[in-house]
Amino acid sequence: MEDLSFLVKQTFKDQSQDWMEEDEEGWEPEVELPLVPAKPGLFFHVDHHGGTFVIRSLLSDNLLIDLEKIKASPEDYPTLRLISEGRARWHKLNYFPCEYREEAEILHQRLGMRRFPVKEESVCNISDPGFNFWIEKTAHGFILHPKIKNLTSHSRRIGPILDAKIALRRWSELAQVFEALPLGIEFHQESGSLCFQAEEAWLGEAFEKIFLQGEFSSELSDLFKLLAKRSRELPVLETTWYFLQEAALARRFWKKVESELDYWS
């Protein structure tokens, strides 16, 4: 499936100044928006102004049906802020498909309609926890930093994909869940940061991909299934499963947001 944002932007990006002048006089070309999947998800517009941006998001039970409604009457969807100077700016419309509406709701509640700094490290001081999480790779794992004061030159920003307080609790629960397996895996906290180490390289890569790529590997899924058969702490196992799944989901979405910011920068 072609990316909606990319295709529409390509239509507009290389147009000449003469075209823009014609458009300002009232002529508006026909825009063919590509088909989106008939799945739940989010429509969103990264509203970028100077050093900050807002993710203007709209929940959808069916992206394909709702796109037709938006195309017919964009003025009926003011939260997307697509209309500027009396014209719909279709090149700003993006979408993110989800398997379930609940996933879209998580993204909308956590990241939608909030203002973020483009360069958080430039506007937050060391005592400010900020919005973003940062990942620092280590010899046998990684560290997730929620605070700017803990960053190193090797830290990479991965976005506000976690709630800091919830993440601290879930990290302790992950330590509890995985202590049942002889895998040489360790979850611990240090100065508010979340530390992970694993003797098995594949296991370290599987957890790292969650926070870097937004990927939840089949090997990690199989490991959780094995734990479900052997563990008596099923409620804790379930909460940690959903915690990691939601982290991967938020990271995938944030990567699309980052691509939009790179495009307009």
pLDDT tens for the chain, residues 1 to 265: 445 444 444 444 443 333 333 344 333 445 566 579 999 999 999 998 878 899 999 999 999 999 999 999 999 999 999 998 888 888 889 999 999 999 999 999 999 999 888 876 655 554 555 678 999 999 899 999 987 766 777 889 999 999 989 999 999 999 988 887 788 899 999 988 999 999 989 999 999 999 999 999 999 999 998 888 876 667 889 999 999 999 999 999 999 999 988 765 5
The confidence score (pLDDT) of residue 249 equals: 98
Look at residue 154 and give its three-state secondary structure.
coil
Residue 149 is predicted with a pLDDT of 67
- pTM, full prediction: 0.83
- Alpha helix locations (H) across the chain? 4-13, 17-24, 63-72, 101-111, 120-123, 164-178, 201-212, 218-230, 234-264
* pLDDT tens string 209-228: 999 999 999 999 999 988 88
pLDDT of 191 reads 85
The pLDDT value recorded for residue 80 is 94
pLDDT digits (tens, 9 = 90+) for 163-211: 989 999 999 999 988 887 788 899 999 988 999 999 989 999 999 999 9
pLDDT for position 147: 73
pLDDT value for 48: 87
Backbone φ and ψ of 85, nearest 5°: 55, 40
pLDDT given at position 32: 61
- Computed over every residue of the chain, the mean pLDDT equals 83
Instruction: Kindly tell me the burial class for residue 6, based on how many C-beta atoms sit within 10 Å of its own C-beta (0-12, 13-18, 19 or more).
Output: middle
Task: Find the angle CA(238)-CA(186)-CA(158) to the nearest 5 degrees.
Answer: 75
CA angle 14/17/23 to nearest 5° reads 95
